[in-house]
Structure 1
Amino acid sequence: MPPHLTTTSPRPAPHRTPRRPRARRLRRVLAATASIGVVMLTTAGTGHADPYAAPVAVPRMAPSTLDVRYAAERGSIEEALKTAQKVGDVRRNKALGAFLQPGRRFLYFDPRGGGRAIEVIGDLARARRVAVLVPGADTTLSAFDKRGGKPWSTPGGGARAVYTQARSMSPDPGLAVVAWLGYAAPKTFSGDVLTDERAAEGAVRLRHFLKGVHQVNPGASVGLLCHSYGSVVCGRAALDGADSAALRQVTDIALYGSPGTTAWSASRLSSTARVWAGRGATDWMEDVPHVRIFGLGLGPDPVSPGFGARVFEAGSGGHSDYLAPGSASLRNLTDIALGRPSTVTPG
């Protein structure tokens, strides 16, 4: 996707900085051109075998198996770190070293390719609410905690931001937050972001994980926090599993910085869960064409009135700023995570 573009004017409007129609048209033309162009791109293989080992076998999720899984995945991370050091994978080496910091707990870990990991912050077995953060494009193990000087824009950093915000509201918020990189996220500059193919694969895995959450803590309710292409994953999980027991605990689905969900309306996603949508004032996602034709494109804009979601205030931030400390979007997304709809400020 192209970066956010701006133009300057010799006669700025006093007291406000509205988006100028000419600049907006230019952005949309460029966004549409780039969207069409990435369909033509292909990703060439490296021709080298993946040096990292496949995931280890772990018991299915249950209260009695959590510690076993945490220990097993920590051992897998240690082995992957040795491999990263051996092959000179500097970025992966740094990321995995951070994974091994005291107190960090992973329910799943797969170092192959871009990698997958599921981290838990808080007490999953005893929480009253569980928030599952589903990230978007360009998310890999190397970008699980840090990206572009904005740690809150990553799965790990974002999950910690939500958990910290919840703790600032109450010393015992009864919340566990899951950083869920459970699918192979597409690259922004690839044809994969224009279809729901990666999302369909991720949706199956997300529903499977939610089933595991129910096995661990059947009394907890769940909020899905779905950023960017992660909202497509959440959308497909909801559409394809409308009658699934895995989704019965889900009371809230928050879509932010979303390109679409493939659903034509919020009511198609769920008849029981609250569906939320938000977009920052400077998020370039506004300029992405919201269409779906012959399987290409991701459908209506979730913040549009016709979609029917509950639009929340997302502030003035950009595509990577929704979970930035002190932001209106972080406060609202944390309230959604906590299941407090009355305290969410509308957009």
Structure 2
Amino acid sequence: MGGRLRMALVAALVAGTPAGPGVGVAEAAAPNPPTLPAMSAATLGERYAANQRAIAEAAGLARDTGHTARADHLARMADPARSFLAFDGRAGRVRAVEVIGDLAGADRIAIVVPGSDSDLDHFDTRGNKPYSTPAGGARALYDEIRAQEPNARVAVIAWLGYSPPRTISLDVLTTGRADDGARELRRFVAGLYAVAPAAGVSLLCHSYGSVVCGRAVSRIDVADLAVFGSPGLGVDERDDLGTGARVWAGRGGSDWIDLVPNVRIPFFDTTVGFGADPTGGGFGAREFAAGGGGHSDYLRPGGPALHNLALIARGRATEVTHA
């Protein structure tokens, strides 16, 4: 068992990343986040403007302290055409929550929850796969939904609302960061219903983000939960999630996440591993076709995974193709 456990730990360390190991850079100085009004349809403009100013200020501070790459990333995020519900650039407290589409007018809202190594420096870009980032993936999803249904009243949210673990870390093997993220996600979804009370909400959760969603979903009202590239949801079967949502799971044919043993091993006051494979036949999720792509390819434009995730986000369950 000792050798098997070591193999599991090493495999999990490798498999948590959406695009490769260790991508962080030294943290730059950042201002305190703005004081924001409670979320409602009437306060969205005020929140967007306050966060735009905060991001621009953070970009200036980063440039002044020699963090040129961070400054460039933040300058792109500070574009007044973009809409952020939340922003905090401080080390250890990083948050960025962007809305694509008309949130107040939406009848469906999709929240994209990213996995490990997601941060401000890779919120929009990561090599030649912008769709593997929180905002890039959310934009790809929004564009796919509008291509399928041009008049769709939909909003997609890139939710970097927690501090994902680094791939090369012990945190990526346990639920600690996921528990923190789940608390934030529950609070965030409650706020969304103050903005669009009649909207149906879907959670689309990648890699370690699926662990966050698995910890949160029993206490929030969502129509659909879709996980992809998931190491497990921390439970043995779908019914253990405690949700009435439709639960979907997909895995690309070249995704290395299948190297991670689906185990849960007690380790001092925590647990290593995340339990059963949600794409397994005995788990009870609805499996959707995800194509032959790798761990960072689920939201690639033109791919079957993105096509099906857009259908799930719109609640068009009968049109989803299955693996």
State TM-score, norm by structure 1. Answer: 0.84
1:314 and 2:276 matched: no
Alignment of 1:1-347 (within 5 A): 32=8, 34-35=10-11, 51-113=29-91, 115-238=94-217, 242=218, 244=219, 247-248=220-221, 250-294=222-266, 295-347=271-323
> What SS class does the counterpart of residue 306 from structure 1 fall into?
coil
Q: Provide Cα deviations, 1:25-64, integer angstroms capped at 9, x if missing partner.
A: xxx99953614889xxxx9xx9x99622221110110111
Query: Letter of the aligned partner of 2:154 in structure 1?
Result: L
Give the Cα–Cα distance (whole angstroms) in 2 for the partners of residues 151 and 33 of structure 1: 29
> What SS class does the counterpart of residue 276 from structure 1 fall into?
strand
Given that 1:35 and 1:194 are in contact with CA atoms closer than 8 Å, whether structure 2 keeps it comes out as no
Give the Cα–Cα distance (whole angstroms) in 2 for the partners of residues 312 and 50 of structure 1: 40
Distance 1:269 1:202, change over 3 A: same
Moved over 2 A (4+): 28-33, 35-38, 48-51
Distance 1:161 1:224, change over 3 A: same
RMSD of Structure 2 on Structure 1 (CA): 2.0
Query: Letter of the aligned partner of 1:322 in structure 2?
Result: Y
Displacement of 1:229:
0.3
Displacement of 1:102:
4.0
Q: Any unmatched runs of 5+ in structure 2?
A: 15-21
Displacement of 1:273:
0.3
Q: Provide Cα deviations, 1:98-130, integer angstroms capped at 9, x if missing partner.
A: 112242000000001262100000011110100
Q: Residue in 2 aligned with 1:19?
A: none
Q: Provide Cα deviations, 1:64-83, integer angstroms capped at 9, x if missing partner.
A: 11000000001100110110
Distance 1:68 1:301, change over 3 A: same
Paired residues, number: 306
Distance 1:330 1:37, change over 3 A: closer
Q: Provide Cα deviations, 1:148-190, integer angstroms capped at 9, x if missing partner.
A: 2100001100000011001111221111000000000101111
State TM-score, norm by structure 2. Answer: 0.90
Give the Cα–Cα distance (whole angstroms) in 1 for the partners of residues 170 and 159 of structure 2: 23
Query: Letter of the aligned partner of 1:286 in structure 2?
Result: D
Give the Cα–Cα distance (whole angstroms) in 2 for the partners of residues 33 and 310 of structure 1: 28
Q: Provide Cα deviations, 1:280-299, integer angstroms capped at 9, x if missing partner.
A: 00000000111101111111
